[in-house]
Amino acid sequence: MITFEDVSKTYGGQASGRAALAGVSLSVAPGEVFGVIGASGAGKSTLIRLINGLETPSSGKVIVDGDDVAALGVEGLRSLRRRVGMIFQHFNLLSSKTVAGNVAFPLKLAGRPDAEVRARTAELLARVGLSDFAGKYPAQLSGGQKQRVGVARALATGPKVLLCDEATSALDPETTEQILELVSGLNRELGLTIVLITHEMDVVRRVCDRVAVLEAGRVVETGPVEQVFLHPASATARRFVMEVEGPLGGVPGEAGASVDGRLVRLTFRGEATYRPILGAVARETGVDYSILGGRIHRLRETPYGQLTLSLTGGDVEAAIARFQADGVRVDLVGGAGR
Amino acid sequence: MDNIDWAEIGQATLDTLSMLGGSMILTVILGLPLGVILFLTGPGQMLRNRLANGVLSLVINILRSVPFVILLIVMIPLTVALVGTSLGVAGAIPPLVVGAAPFFARLVETALREVDKGVIEASFAMGAKRRQVVLGALLPEAMPGLIAAATVTAIALVSYTAMAGVVGAGGLGDLAIRFGYQRFQTDVMVVTVVLLLVLVQALQMVGDAVVRKVSHR
């Protein structure tokens, strides 16, 4: 659906300018929720604006729904923008228009007949649960309601792609939850492809299928959310994961304690999370364990758990093999033979 | 109140109102597009053009820096060419417009700058053409500021009309100068100034009421 081929963007001239993106390649499949996470200034905002042509690449190609965005003419770009909806951190609603007027705006821009505009507006307001607010002005709404107007407006022209530009960053946790639920629902029910940029790993964890980690204009890591989340390979990804979960679980030295035995990190996913594997393995192999750290949470619908253990006594190798046989991923985190 | 000729005051009031009305309409017709172009050609805007913006800005600054009394006089040949006379209400309107339009254009530019850039970006993201962005988003969003700018301009025009007496345009200000000041008729002075005050106050109140009406922030 969306492909970036070695895309760079430099502001203020090639030679002396500041590079916002450098050699970014990635692809987003149809129907996927794709997250881009990065600190402020990492280039997220530029990246998402390249998708609907609000920015043009300095080099490389951005291909959206079969079109090379930079090669589109004025009309082609307008047509693309009707196929790509966008919601914003600060909602960007027209304060001079009512809720209904805001939702109708993209339809009027597209020159749709009045009757269609009215019917479609009513349908969209019902979808986001704001039918009773049609005649109100944005200033009379709460942040969450404003963002729901933003979503309805973005959906007006029946897009295939929804771009979310830090769409929940100005909202409180409860409202964030509601908006993420709404966006996930659109993905499930309409098969909408969603690209969202954020600086919050929690948002990625709740709604994304895959994630790209952006650092100083470069993609430093990309993959399925559970992989990046449970086994972050880059320092940047580790830092984002630690922001939501705390330290990745009891690695000695961090705590200043010296621990005997073999240190392992177990990762449970799905049903394995709820099975009493740990006790069973201990009984069967005579291994003793102490828990140094752990986390249990959900990635979208999938529960997962991650434990850092110190294994002592008994048959450690057999215990590791037994865990693996049960579908638990085992990573050695050092400390062997101490 | 011996010196007061109410018929003359009535005529002067009418003259002031017709100068104000005529020049205000033309000021908006001329100044609004000028202000929009000034804004759109500015740095970072959708028609950014350093040369066009610089030239326009310079012309506006030149016109704004000429004292209105001087403008009245240096414009006489142009005024005659435009309206056939440099005298009376008709003769005052061209210099009034040339004096007020650049002022209004600057105020329009300032009002447009107050519009949230995010709203403009969102309009483009929805597939709007430039013309649709300007007419459908930029101007409606700036409407409270534009109305306030028009109010300030109308009130400035009221004081300009007083000077238009120099070219025999008549009006309340002219009456205040010729009779109230030059002939020491204090009563005429007081009556004309009170009428001007009422006019200014009325303009401000109407302007403020319209701003409240169109503002939904």
| Chain A residue with the nearest C-alpha to that of B144 | A96
Structural Rg of chain A based on CA atoms:
24
Do B10 and B196 meet the contact criterion of CB atoms below 8 Å apart? no
Tokens of A231: 């086994």
| Chain A residue with the nearest C-alpha to that of B118 | A92
Q: Assign A286 a pLDDT band (cuts: 50, 70, 90).
A: confident
Strand bridging mode A161-165 / A59-64: unpaired
Judge whether B210 is closer than 8 Å to chain A, CB to CB.
no
> Which of the two residues, B56 and A290, has the higher pLDDT score?
B56
From chain A, the residues in CB contact with B128 under 8 A are: 78, 109
Q: Is A45 left (phi over 0), alpha (psi -120 to 50) or beta?
A: alpha
Q: Measuring CA to CA, how many Å separate B165 from each of A210, B88, B123, B176? A: 76, 8, 48, 10
Q: Which residues of chain B have pLDDT under 50?
A: none
Judge whether B198 is closer than 8 Å to chain A, CB to CB.
no
- Angle at the Cα of A150 from the Cα atoms of A148 and A151, rounded to 5 degrees: 65
- Angle at the Cα of A212 from the Cα atoms of A333 and B123, rounded to 5 degrees: 155
Q: What pLDDT shows up at residue A37?
A: 95
* φ and ψ at residue A303, rounded to 5 degrees: -75, 150
| Chain A residue with the nearest C-alpha to that of B125 | A81
Give A60→chain B minimum CA distance, Å: 22
Q: What pLDDT shows up at residue A2?
A: 95
- pLDDT average, residue stretch A284-290: 86
Smallest CA-to-CA distance from B1 within B190, B153, B141, B177 is with: B190
Smallest CA-to-CA distance from A312 within A287, A279, A283, A285 is with: A287
Judge whether B127 is closer than 8 Å to chain A, CB to CB.
yes
Q: What is the mean pLDDT of chain A?
A: 88
Please state, as a whole number, how many other Cβ atoms lie within 10 Å of the Cβ of residue B9.
17
| Contact: A105, B126; criterion CB under 8 Å | yes
pLDDT one-digit tens code per residue, A203-241: 998 999 999 999 999 999 999 998 888 888 899 998 888
> Which of the two residues, A310 and B37, has the higher pLDDT score?
B37
pLDDT one-digit tens code per residue, B186-217: 888 899 999 999 999 999 999 999 999 999 88
Q: Is A249 left (phi over 0), alpha (psi -120 to 50) or beta?
A: left
Q: What pLDDT shows up at residue A15?
A: 64
pLDDT one-digit tens code per residue, A42-97: 999 999 999 999 999 999 999 999 999 999 999 999 999 999 999 999 999 999 99
Of the candidates B118, B127, B141, which has its C-beta nearest A78's C-beta? B127
| Chain B residue with the nearest C-alpha to that of A78 | B127
Smallest CA-to-CA distance from B126 within A120, A148, A154 is with: A154
Q: What pLDDT shows up at residue A337?
A: 39
Q: Measuring CA to CA, how many Å separate A313 from each of A227, A291, A292? A: 31, 15, 17
Q: Given the structure tokens 């086994």, which residue do they identify? A: A231
Q: What pLDDT shows up at residue A333?
A: 78
Tokens of B200: 């200014």
Give B48→chain A minimum CA distance, Å: 15
Smallest CA-to-CA distance from A34 within A192, A168, A196 is with: A196
Judge whether B131 is closer than 8 Å to chain A, CB to CB.
no
User: Secondary structure of chain A in the HEC alphabet?
Assistant: CEEEEEEEEEECCCCCCEEEEEEEEEEECCCCEEEEEECCCCCHHHHHHHHCCCCCCCEEEEEECCEEHHHCCHHHHHHHHHHEEEEECCCCCCCCCCHHHHHHHHHHHCCCCHHHHHHHHHHHHHHCCCHHHCCCCHHHCCHHHHHHHHHHHHHCCCCCEEEEECCCCCCCHHHHHHHHHHHHHHHHHHCCEEEEEECCHHHHHHHCCEEEEEECCEEEEEEEHHHHHHCCCCHHHHHHHHHHHCCCCCCCCCCCCCCCCEEEEEEEEHHHHHCCHHHHHHHHHCCEEEEEEEEEEEECCEEEEEEEEEEECCCHHHHHHHHHHCCCEEEECCCCCC
Give A229→chain B minimum CA distance, Å: 32
Interface of B with A in 14-33 (CB under 8 A): none
Judge whether B133 is closer than 8 Å to chain A, CB to CB.
no
Q: What is the DSSP letter of B184?
A: -
- For B105-118, give the DSSP string: HHHHHHHHHTS-HH
Residue type, B118: G
Smallest CA-to-CA distance from A196 within A167, A223, A229, A221 is with: A167
Q: What pLDDT shows up at residue A14?
A: 60
> Which of the two residues, A329 and A126, has the higher pLDDT score?
A126
Interatomic CA distance for residues A101 and B130, integer angstroms: 19
pLDDT at A250 over 50: no
Q: What pLDDT shows up at residue A158?
A: 94
Q: Given the structure tokens 């414009």, which residue do they identify? A: B75
Q: What pLDDT shows up at residue A257?
A: 52
| Contact: B118, A88; criterion CB under 8 Å | yes
Residue type, A6: D
Interatomic CA distance for residues B167 and B180, integer angstroms: 18
From chain A, the residues in CB contact with B123 under 8 A are: 94, 105, 109
Q: What pLDDT shows up at residue A3?
A: 95
| Contact: A88, B129; criterion CB under 8 Å | no
| Contact: A86, B122; criterion CB under 8 Å | yes
pLDDT one-digit tens code per residue, A149-159: 999 999 999 99
> Domains in chain B and their CATH numbers?
6-214 (1.10.3720.10)
| Chain A residue with the nearest C-alpha to that of B44 | A12
From chain B, the residues in CB contact with A81 under 8 A are: 124-127
Of the candidates B119, B127, B140, which has its C-beta nearest A92's C-beta? B119
Q: What is the number of CB-based contacts under 8 A between chain A and chain B?
A: 69
Do A65 and A162 meet the contact criterion of CB atoms below 8 Å apart? no
DSSP H or E run through B31: helix B6-40
From chain B, the residues in CB contact with A141 under 8 A are: none
Distance of CA A23 to the CA centre of its chain: 21
| Contact: B126, A95; criterion CB under 8 Å | no
Q: Which of A49, A50, A92, A195 to mutate to test the interface with B (most CBs of B within 10 A)?
A: A92
> Which of the two residues, A268 and B139, has the higher pLDDT score?
B139
Interatomic CA distance for residues A225 and A235, integer angstroms: 16
Do B122 and A88 meet the contact criterion of CB atoms below 8 Å apart? yes
Do A107 and A120 meet the contact criterion of CB atoms below 8 Å apart? yes
Of the candidates B123, B128, B143, which has its C-beta nearest A96's C-beta? B143
Q: Does ipTM top 0.90?
A: no
| Contact: A109, B126; criterion CB under 8 Å | yes
Residue type, B155: I
Judge whether B217 is closer than 8 Å to chain A, CB to CB.
yes
| Contact: A96, B118; criterion CB under 8 Å | no
Of the candidates A86, A110, A139, which has its C-beta nearest B125's C-beta? A86
Of the candidates A81, A88, A94, which has its C-beta nearest B127's C-beta? A81
Q: Assign A302 a pLDDT band (cuts: 50, 70, 90).
A: confident
Q: What pLDDT shows up at residue A247?
A: 63
Do B200 and B155 meet the contact criterion of CB atoms below 8 Å apart? yes
| Contact: B118, A78; criterion CB under 8 Å | no
| Contact: A81, B129; criterion CB under 8 Å | no
| Contact: A52, B125; criterion CB under 8 Å | yes
From chain A, the residues in CB contact with B116 under 8 A are: 90, 92, 95
Do A292 and A245 meet the contact criterion of CB atoms below 8 Å apart? no
pLDDT at A297 over 60: yes
pLDDT at A253 over 60: no
Judge whether B135 is closer than 8 Å to chain A, CB to CB.
no
> Domains in chain A and their CATH numbers?
2-243 (3.40.50.300), 262-332 (3.30.70.260)
* DSSP reduced 3-state for B181: helix
pTM exceeding 0.90: no
Q: What pLDDT shows up at residue A185?
A: 94
Q: What pLDDT shows up at residue A296?
A: 78
